Structure 1
């Protein structure tokens, strides 16, 4: 099971690192040109950057502590933080009637909860 947890963790980390980097690197206007990022026009630029930073830090927090065997408690903490972030994303997309995006965020939320539960419980470091 540990291998499965690592695979899910790695996939989540890669996804959040890419998504967060995109939010940090692009302006609010540039993000708005992507049909999947229409929500970005409803938020101030600073909030988008904060979300991007949280995604990057969360992605790093999913992998680095476990890989380096330092402060491994950060792995479930990062997973919980990302789950909370995805709960907000689900609400945002649901309010905008973006069912596909909301559904994708539900899957990410579930995977983040899976990692948190496994790293707190049976597959703790």
Structure 2
């Protein structure tokens, strides 16, 4: 089960890190041009904040478990990313956009959280 959690967390961390870096470093207009049309409805600081949340979550999925320090933070990071994706699903659904990627990431984050909490005890 530990191997499954590591693989899952690495996949999630790569996805959230890539997405977060893009949101945190690109201007809002560039994001809209890349197909993230929802970003046009938010202040640039909000979009960058979402990117930072995703980056911190990605680091939280890996670093605590890797170092063995505060390992309870790993499933908590997964819970935080799950909540973030629930908000993304609601946003995309309201805009009548596809929310499938956010749904997949939400499900994988929930699985990671459950496995992470199971392995704590």
| TM-score in terms of structure 2 length | 0.96
Q: Which residue of 2 aligns with 1:120?
A: 117
CA distance in 2, matches of 1:84, 1:45: 21
The number of aligned residues is 121
1:82 Cα deviation after fit: 0.3
1:124 Cα deviation after fit: 2.4
Matches within 5 A, 1:45-60: 45-60=44-59
Q: Report the RMSD for the aligned CA atoms in angstroms.
A: 1.0
1:75 Cα deviation after fit: 0.3
Q: Which residue of 2 aligns with 1:72?
A: 71
- Which segments of structure 1 move beyond 3 Å, counting only runs of 4 or more? none
CA distance in 2, matches of 1:30, 1:109: 25
CA distance in 2, matches of 1:124, 1:113: 15
The runs of 5 or more residues in structure 1 that have no matched partner are none
| TM-score in terms of structure 1 length | 0.93
The runs of 5 or more residues in structure 2 that have no matched partner are none
